[in-house]
Amino acid sequence: MATIKELSRREDRLEGGHRLCGGCGASIAVRQVLLGAGETPIIAGCATGCLEVSTTIYPYSSWKVPFIHNAFENSAATISGVEAAFKGLQRAGKIPAGKKMKFVAFGGDGGTYDIGLQSLSGAMERGHDMVYVCYDNGAYMNTGIQRSSATPLGAWATTSEVGSAHQGKEQRRKDLTSIIAAHNIPYVAQASISDWKGLTAVAEKAFASEGAAFINVFAPCPRGWRIPHDMTVEIAKLAVDTAYWPLFEVVEGEWKMSTRRVTRENRKPVEEFLRPQGRFKHLFKAGNEELLARIQDEVDRNFDYVLKRAGQ
């Protein structure tokens, strides 16, 4: 694993000056992941979404690597095709057999959990030598903060409103990391921008894996979550400390916790993660005590599931 001195010497492959919102978790995630790639040449692709539209406004680009923009639903399919073409050209002798290249696809939760799930599943099942990174900000932020299947239970979104009929989203969030782990690929990880050391470490492992790898990164959105732009990393840390977002890896089918810092005994109540966010403010009004307790129960159940899978 690279030291902080080594990482500080590496060139950022996502340049500053883009038009993402202040405090955006997506750009933090991309920078940390690409630092984990070391000096290996990279080809990146990105689904339509906040990250793409704000970093590639024609005629400018913030990407300092070859970059492919594709549709909302097919980032994984595009990069798997590029990887297959590269290997085909090597077999044909048009690219030196020893040349190394890494392929990475980025997508938000809308383009990953939902409309991109089919192409992602196909790329993982075929075993392409690529890394797929989901920056999970919990809604379709680029198009107006509509709920996605990554949106938490009880959260406000423009399509899961709060009022007399509903108190935010009524369904549980999808456990995408477990779904991808069930594809039996070499490497899967759940990470957070609040743990830069852990995220760059799992990125190194993902890029070093022979075959398909997947990283699900917790990346808060100040605009959609109704938090100050300088609280992004703090909120991401609370997600980990409350066990809302456990950090773990699945290496060749073996589950293990990425950190032992958070345990059943010392984890914070999920209320500490929810309360600072405007999208959850209704939960703390009279009459929603049962919903708040249900959210805590869901977090407890999921954390127990992950710990058991990791042998704890």
Region 178-199: mean pLDDT is: 97
Three-class DSSP category at 256: strand
Check residue 8 and give its pLDDT: 81
Q: Which residues pair with 250 in a beta bridge?
A: 188, 255
Residue 271: closest CA among 247, 294, 296? 296
Q: Which domains occur in the chain, in start order? A: 4-309 (3.40.50.970)
Check residue 49 and give its pLDDT: 95
Of the candidate ranges 34-38, 142-146, 273-277, the one whose mean pLDDT is the lowest: 34-38
Residue 70: closest CA among 144, 132, 28? 132
CA–CA separation, 104 vs 67, rounded Å? 10
CA–CA separation, 225 vs 233, rounded Å? 13
CA–CA separation, 251 vs 311, rounded Å? 14
Check residue 27 and give its pLDDT: 96
pTM: 0.96
Check residue 183 and give its pLDDT: 98
Strand order in the sheet with 67-69: 67-69, 42-46, 102-108, 131-136, 213-218, 187-192, 248-251, 254-257
Structure token pair of residue 205? 């492992």
Region 39-43: mean pLDDT is: 92
For the CA atoms of 102, 37, 310, 275, what is the dihedral angle to 10 degrees? -120
CA–CA separation, 199 vs 82, rounded Å? 25
Q: Which residue has the tokens 């992602």?
A: 120
Q: Which long-range contacts (CB under 8 A, 24 or more apart) does 89-96 make?
A: none
Structure token pair of residue 100? 């190394």
Determine contact, residues 7/28, Cβ cutoff 8 Å: no
Determine contact, residues 69/55, Cβ cutoff 8 Å: no
CA distances from 128 to 1, 124, 181, 237, 288 (A): 24, 7, 15, 32, 46
Q: What's the pLDDT tens digit per position in 208-260?
A: 999 999 999 999 999 999 999 999 999 999 999 999 999 999 999 999 999 88
CA–CA separation, 28 vs 312, rounded Å? 31
Structure token pair of residue 234? 């703090």
